[in-house]
Amino acid sequence: MKETTMTYLKPIPVKTPDNSPYWDAADRHELVLQKCESCKEYLHPPGPSCAKCGSPAVSWEEIGNDIQGTIYSYVISHRPFLPGFQDDLPLIIAQVELDKVPEVKIMANVLDCDYEKIQIGMPVKMIWQDLPEGRSLPQWKPIDA
């Protein structure tokens, strides 16, 4: 991954007080999800309080690093809409429904996948793409790839 870290020109997730547990865990190659202690709903993306009931009582739950899901929706960019993506076209961006927590959908790129084969319902697994400075980005990959 050293070569990648030298040439990574895409945006790197910005940590904020509200999202840093998620990105800190990603850097450790683990997924954590925010959960509301009042209504017990999972909250993704995370925030300063529950976006479903308003409760400030939110906590974090470790989901681990063996994450599988299915494609819920996707788009395929044939043009870079942000800098750094020009060499990755066509780029698949997908919402993936987690097998363990179906109410949570996580947006990421589907890597190692022929863009003509992508479809809703396709099974994928989470992989961890290492970025510069010890950062890491959750990504998806077809399970049979």
User: For binding to other proteins (CB under 8 A), which residues are involved?
Assistant: 10-16, 19, 23, 43-45, 47, 51-52, 72-85, 88, 90-91, 93, 95, 103-109, 120, 137
Can residue 25 be called a binding residue for Zn ion (CB under 5 A)?
Answer: no
State both tokens at 69.
Answer: 């899901």
Distance CA 120, CA 86 (A): 25
Distance CA 34, CA 62 (A): 9
Q: Which stretch, 21-29, 39-47, 73-81, 104-112, contacts Zn ion (CB under 5 A)?
A: 39-47
- Closer CB to Zn ion, 50 or 96, in the complex: 50
- Closer CB to other proteins, 62 or 103, in the complex: 103
Can residue 55 be called a binding residue for Zn ion (CB under 5 A)?
Answer: yes
Can residue 52 be called a binding residue for Zn ion (CB under 5 A)?
Answer: yes
Q: Specify the DSSP class assigned to residue 110.
A: B
What Rg value do the Cα atoms of the chain yield, rounded? 16
**CB of 113: closest distance to Zn ion in angstroms?**
35
Strand partners for 36: 58
97 Cα distance to chain centroid = 11
